[in-house]
Chain A
Amino acid sequence: MMDWTAVILSVKLALVTQLFLLPPAIICARWLALTSFRGKPWIEGVLALPLVLPPTVIGYYLLVAMGGNSFLGRWFEALFGQPLAFSFSGLVVASVLVNIPFAVQPAQRAFEAISLEVHEAAKCCGLTFWQTFHRIELPLAWPGILSAMMMTFAHTLGEFGVVLMVGGGIPGETQTLSISIYDRVQAFDFSSAGTMSLLLLVISLVTIAISYGMVERLMRRRRSS
Chain B
Amino acid sequence: MSLSLELRHNGPQLDFTAEIPKGQITALVGPSGSGKTSIIRAIAGLLKIKHARICLEGECWDDSRRHLPTRERSIGLVPQHHGLFPHLSVLGNVETSLSHLTSRDRRIRALECLSLAHVEELEGRHPHELSGGQRQRVALARAIARNPQVLLLDEPFSAIDRGMRKRLYLELRRLHTQLGNTVLLVTHDLDEAAQLASHLLLIDQGQLLQAGETTRVLTHPQNEQAAQLLDIPNVFEASLESTSSALSQLRWGPHTLQVSTTGLTGTGRVKFAVLPQNILLVKTDKPWGSHLENPIPTVVQDVVALGWEVLVLLEIKGNPEVQLQMRLPERAMRRYPIETGSEVIVCLRSSDIILLE
Counted as pairs of residues, one from A and one from B, with CB atoms less than 8 Å apart, the total is: 74
In angstroms, Cα B127 to Cα A208, docked, is 29
A127→B99 contact, CB < 8 A:
yes
Q: Which of B78-86, B112-120, B314-322 contacts A (4 or more CB under 8 A)?
A: B78-86
A120→B99 contact, CB < 8 A:
no
A125→B86 contact, CB < 8 A:
no
In angstroms, Cα B69 to Cα A123, docked, is 9
A124→B86 contact, CB < 8 A:
no
Smallest CB–CB gap between A157 and chain B, Å?
A: 31
Which residue of the partner chain, among A124, A125, A139, A224, contacts B127 with CB atoms under 8 Å?
A: A224
Known: A117-B81, A117-B83, A221-B86. A123 touches B70 (CB 8 A): yes
B71→A225 contact, CB < 8 A:
no
Whether B128 is near chain A, meaning CB under 8 Å from some CB there, is yes
Which residue of the partner chain, among B41, B46, B86, B96, contacts A135 with CB atoms under 8 Å?
A: B96
B44→A118 contact, CB < 8 A:
no
Chain A residue with Cβ nearest B72: A126
B84→A124 contact, CB < 8 A:
no
| Chain A residues positioned under 8 Å from B80 (CB to CB) | 117
Question: What's the tally of chain B residues with a CB closer than 8 Å to chain A?
Answer: 28
In angstroms, Cα B87 to Cα A121, docked, is 14
| Chain B residues positioned under 8 Å from A225 (CB to CB) | 84, 86, 127-128
Smallest CB–CB gap between A3 and chain B, Å?
A: 43
| Chain A residues positioned under 8 Å from B71 (CB to CB) | 123-128
Smallest CB–CB gap between A82 and chain B, Å?
A: 46
| Chain B residues positioned under 8 Å from A136 (CB to CB) | 85, 96
In angstroms, Cα B83 to Cα A127, docked, is 14
| Chain B residues positioned under 8 Å from A128 (CB to CB) | 71
Whether B77 is near chain A, meaning CB under 8 Å from some CB there, is yes
| Chain B residues positioned under 8 Å from A123 (CB to CB) | 44-46, 69-71
A224→B86 contact, CB < 8 A:
yes
Whether B2 is near chain A, meaning CB under 8 Å from some CB there, is no
B75→A124 contact, CB < 8 A:
yes
| Chain B residues positioned under 8 Å from A131 (CB to CB) | 99
Whether A15 is near chain B, meaning CB under 8 Å from some CB there, is no
Chain A 132-172 interface 0/1 with B at a Cβ cutoff of 8 Å (1 = within): 00011001100000000000000000000000000000000
| Chain A residues positioned under 8 Å from B146 (CB to CB) | 125-126
| Chain A residues positioned under 8 Å from B83 (CB to CB) | 115, 117-118, 120-121
Tell me which of B45, B71, B146 has the highest count of chain A C-beta atoms within 10 A of its own C-beta. Answer: B71
Smallest CB–CB gap between B174 and chain A, Å?
A: 23
| Chain A residues positioned under 8 Å from B143 (CB to CB) | 124
Chain B 295-309 interface 0/1 with A at a Cβ cutoff of 8 Å (1 = within): 000000000000000
Smallest CB–CB gap between B62 and chain A, Å?
A: 15
B96→A125 contact, CB < 8 A:
yes
| Chain B residues positioned under 8 Å from A140 (CB to CB) | 85-87
Chain A 27-51 interface 0/1 with B at a Cβ cutoff of 8 Å (1 = within): 0000000000000000000000000
In angstroms, Cα B97 to Cα A126, docked, is 6
Smallest CB–CB gap between B83 and chain A, Å?
A: 4
| Chain A residues positioned under 8 Å from B53 (CB to CB) | none
In angstroms, Cα B71 to Cα A115, docked, is 19
* 9 nearest CB pairs, A to B: A117-B83, A121-B83, A125-B97, A224-B128, A225-B86, A123-B70, A124-B77, A126-B71, A117-B79
> A120-B44, A121-B83, A126-B71 known; 16 other A-B pairs, CB under 8 Å?
A117-B79, A118-B85, A120-B70, A120-B79, A121-B79, A122-B96, A123-B44, A123-B45, A123-B46, A125-B96, A125-B142, A127-B71, A127-B96, A136-B96, A139-B87, A225-B86
Interchain residue pairs with CB less than 8 A apart (7) = A120-B77, A121-B85, A123-B46, A124-B46, A124-B71, A126-B100, A221-B128
